[in-house]
Structure 1
Amino acid sequence: MPEPTVTVTRHEVSVLPETHPDRRYWSAIVARTDGGWMVHASDGTYDQNGNRGTFENPAVHPDLEAALAVARQVAPHVTLNGHPVTDAPAHTSAA
C-alpha cells in the first residue's frame, strides 16, 4: 500500500496573534485551487497587486510565494462587515 501524503491547501495570514479567538475572521486566506493559489478574505479576493476582486472571478496566483506576498500585503487592511482589523476586540490569553 502506498504511503499517505500530506498536502497543504490553506494558509492563514493575519496581523492578529494566533491565539486571538477572532483571527480567522480578520485574516487573508491563501487557498490552493486547480490552477494555483487564490488570496481571499471576508471582503473579497485579491489579485497580484493587492486589488480587491470578487469571488465569482478570483485572480489565481501561479505559485505559493507570490500568493503569500499578496496576503502579507493585504492582511493589515482586511475588513469584516466594513470594520478594519484594528476594530477586532482586544484579547489576552489566560496565563
Structure 2
Amino acid sequence: RIMIENGVCKLKDGSAIAGSCATMDRLIRTAALEAEIPLEDVARMVSETPAMIMGVYDRKGSIARHKDADIIIMDRSLGLTHVIAMGNEIPVAGAMA
C-alpha cells in the first residue's frame, strides 16, 4: 500500500519512500530540457530500450508496420497532447486538443 504526499510516493505507514510517481511525459521533459539529452536519444531510451529489455521489440518500441500503434504526441514545449494505445486515442487530462 502506498500514498502520495507532497509529490513523493511513500509506503502507506510513511516509513519509507516507495518509488517514483513521475509520469513518462515528465521524465521525457526532464531528460530533454533539464539534462539536455537530445530528444532522439530520449525517445529511444523510453521506447526501444525498454521494449528490447522486456523482449517485446517485435511488436513495441518503434513505429513500424505490423507493430502495435502505441504513440504519444507532444507539443513544442514537450507537453503531452495525445496518447494513442493499440491504435486508439486515449483522453489526456488537461491536454489542449
TM value normalised by structure 2: 0.24
Q: Which has the higher contact order (CA 8 A, sep 6+)?
A: 1
Question: Considering only CA atoms, is the larger Rg found in Structure 1 or Structure 2?
Answer: 2
